């Protein structure tokens, strides 16, 4: 989980940092719909979660970590399980536009 000082150090406002922290917290409990800007500039609606019980792969099996985690944590990225694509995705925290209730 990201902290407010980490997010503010990335250039986010206090309000943006709160939005990212709340999104990440809610995703630990349920699937959340949110909107972010992709690298190519288009907007993407995503349904993401960090709730392990919702991480079901396309073949119907629960996702299991494989091998050693790659690289160190990158504070500027929000990593999430995409409930639609059934795969890990990420987005830049500064590109998160909205979280749907």
Number of helices (H), then strands (E), in the chain: 2, 5
pLDDT tens-digit series, residues 48-81? 999 999 998 888 888 877 765 655 668 899 999 9
Q: What is the mean pLDDT of the chain?
A: 91
Instruction: Note the pTM of the prediction, 2 decimals.
Output: 0.88
SS3 content of the chain, % helix, strand, coil (to 5): 25, 30, 45
CB atoms under 10 Å from CB of 71, counted, come to: 5
Locate 18 and state its tokens: 């709160």
pLDDT of residue 71: 56
Q: Where are the domains of the chain?
A: 4-65+74-99
Out of 31-35, 46-50, 69-73, 95-99, pick the least confident: 69-73
Q: Give 12-49 as a DSSP string.
A: --HHHHHHHHHHHHHHTTS-EEEEEE-TTS-EEEEEEE
pLDDT of residue 34: 98
Instruction: Report yes or no: 31 and 51 within 8 Å, Cβ to Cβ.
Output: yes
Distance CA 27, CA 83 (A): 11
């Amino acid at each position: 989980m990201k902290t407010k000082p980490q997010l503010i150090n990335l250039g986010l406002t206090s309000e943006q940092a709160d939005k990212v922290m709340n999104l990440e917290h809610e995703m630990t409990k349920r699937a959340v719909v949110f909107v972010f800007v992709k690298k190519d500039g288009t907007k993407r609606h995503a349904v993401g979660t960090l709730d392990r019980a919702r991480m079901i792969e396309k073949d119907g099996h629960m996702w299991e970590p494989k091998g050693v985690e790659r690289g160190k944590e990158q504070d500027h990225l929000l990593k999430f399980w995409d409930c639609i694509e059934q795969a890990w995705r990420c987005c830049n925290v500064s590109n998160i536009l909205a979280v749907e209730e």
